[in-house]
């Protein structure tokens, strides 16, 4: 059941991200740099040809395998197609570019003072794994995608944990992590960010609450130990009663048990053995 819900959330997230990306690309299509832009472009080509080979140092750029580049020409997006890793060329007079790291990034959310639903103040920190899924959206839709994602992660952590009890916070970390991941994924879809994993690392409780919980746990263990000891005494007394009933039916069995006890004592190599003598022997009735 839980896996089905997760799959539904994942499909809905992918569908929303696809729709947002299609709408974004549609809004970026169309238009040109204009007449003045074409004139400047021709002038820049002439300047580049006139300054060869010095202009080649400014035109040639290198793109790493884990990077993508967003190029603007006269303030407009030059192309929506990704550049292949390696060498690429730009017009140094008209173009500006921004490199985007596409690797998975890790962010440690600073400890957040959170008031739970049952009015307990705890300090919780988490770790977020995310990466840039669409380089163009991460550059054009938000000013600083990394800082924005970090602030949103801290804000989401406080909001989610504020709706949970302390017992739920301690026992349902996996469910809380999946909830935070879905909320962050939906919020950052327009930024071209994909949140891959969210983990709640540590939950720090106040010292007084820790002592109270330790005392409660100790009292619970002592009560359980007393119950187990009482059950053992009850079972032992029942077994002794059954043994006494069996021995009472056969007087010779008591003598045999008595001799067996003496044999066990003699095996310990004691120097003195106390031998109880039944009183009925003196009366001559044994």
Question: Is residue 99 included in any domain, yes or no?
Answer: no
Question: Is residue 84 included in any domain, yes or no?
Answer: no
Tell which of 169, 187, 205 closes a domain: 205
Give the C-alpha separation, 227 to 127, whole Å: 43
185 in the same domain as 155 = yes
172 in the same domain as 225 = no
165 in the same domain as 109 = yes
Residue span of the structural domain in which 275 resides:
210-282
Burial class (CB in 10 A: 0-12, 13-18, 19+), 61: middle
Give the C-alpha separation, 92 to 83, whole Å: 17
Question: Is residue 72 included in any domain, yes or no?
Answer: no
225 in the same domain as 175 = no
Q: Which distant-in-sequence residues (6+ apart) come within 8 Å of 44 by Cβ? A: 91, 93, 94
226 in the same domain as 159 = no
Tell which of 166, 184, 205 closes a domain: 205
Give the C-alpha separation, 48 to 61, whole Å: 15
Q: What is the reported pLDDT for 23?
A: 47
276 in the same domain as 247 = yes
How many domains is the chain partitioned into structurally? 2
214 in the same domain as 201 = no
Distance set, CA 152 to CA 156, 180, 279 (Å): 6, 11, 91
Tell which of 172, 205, 238 closes a domain: 205
180 in the same domain as 113 = yes
For the record, the structure tokens of 266 come out as 């003699």
Question: Is residue 11 included in any domain, yes or no?
Answer: no
Q: What is the reported pLDDT for 170?
A: 82
Distance set, CA 153 to CA 64, 142, 199, 200, 278 (Å): 29, 16, 11, 12, 85
Q: What is the reported pLDDT for 128?
A: 92
Number of H helices, E strands in the chain: 10, 8
Question: Is residue 261 included in any domain, yes or no?
Answer: yes
192 in the same domain as 110 = yes
232 in the same domain as 187 = no
> Which residues are 101's β-sheet partners?
67
| CATH number of residue 154's parent domain | 3.30.479.30
155 in the same domain as 222 = no
214 in the same domain as 194 = no
pLDDT values of the chain reduced to their tens digit, one per residue, 286 residues: 444 555 565 556 555 555 555 544 544 444 466 788 788 878 888 888 888 878 788 888 888 888 889 888 888 887 766 677 888 888 888 888 888 989 999 988 888 888 888 888 888 888 999 999 888 888 888 888 999 999 999 888 888 888 888 888 888 888 888 888 888 988 898 898 999 889 888 888 877 777 877 787 888 888 888 899 888 888 888 888 887 777 777 777 766 777 777 777 666 666 666 666 665 555 554 4
């Amino acid at each position: 059941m839980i896996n089905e819900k997760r799959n539904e959330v994942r499909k809905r997230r992918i569908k929303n991200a696809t729709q947002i990306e299609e709408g974004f690309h549609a809004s970026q299509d169309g238009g040109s740099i204009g007449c003045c832009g074409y004139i400047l472009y021709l002038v820049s080509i002439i300047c580049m040809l006139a300054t060869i080979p010095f202009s080649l140092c400014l035109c040639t750029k290198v793109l790493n395998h884990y990077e993508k580049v967003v190029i603007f020409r006269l303030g407009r997006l030059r192309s929506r197609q990704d550049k292949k890793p390696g060498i690429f060329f730009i017009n140094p007079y008209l173009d500006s570019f921004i490199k985007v790291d596409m690797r998975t990034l890790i962010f440690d959310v600073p400890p957040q003072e959170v008031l739970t639903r049952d009015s307990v103040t705890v300090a919780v920190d988490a770790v977020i794994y995310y990466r840039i899924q669409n380089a163009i959206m991460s550059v054009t839709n938000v000013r600083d995608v990394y800082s924005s994602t970090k602030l949103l992660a801290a804000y989401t952590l406080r909001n989610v944990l504020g709706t949970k009890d302390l017992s739920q916070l301690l026992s349902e970390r996996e469910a809380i992590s999946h909830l935070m991941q879905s909320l962050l994924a939906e919020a950052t879809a327009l930024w071209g960010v994909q949140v891959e994993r969210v983990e709640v690392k540590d939950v720090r409780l106040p010292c007084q609450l820790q002592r109270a919980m330790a005392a409660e746990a100790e009292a619970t263990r002592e009560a359980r130990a007393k119950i187990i000891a009482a059950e053992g005494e009850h079972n032992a007394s029942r077994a002794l009663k059954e043994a006494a009933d069996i021995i009472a039916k056969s007087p010779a069995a008591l003598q045999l048990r008595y001799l067996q006890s003496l044999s066990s004592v003699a095996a310990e190599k004691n120097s003195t053995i106390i031998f109880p003598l039944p009183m009925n022997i003196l009366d001559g009735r044994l």
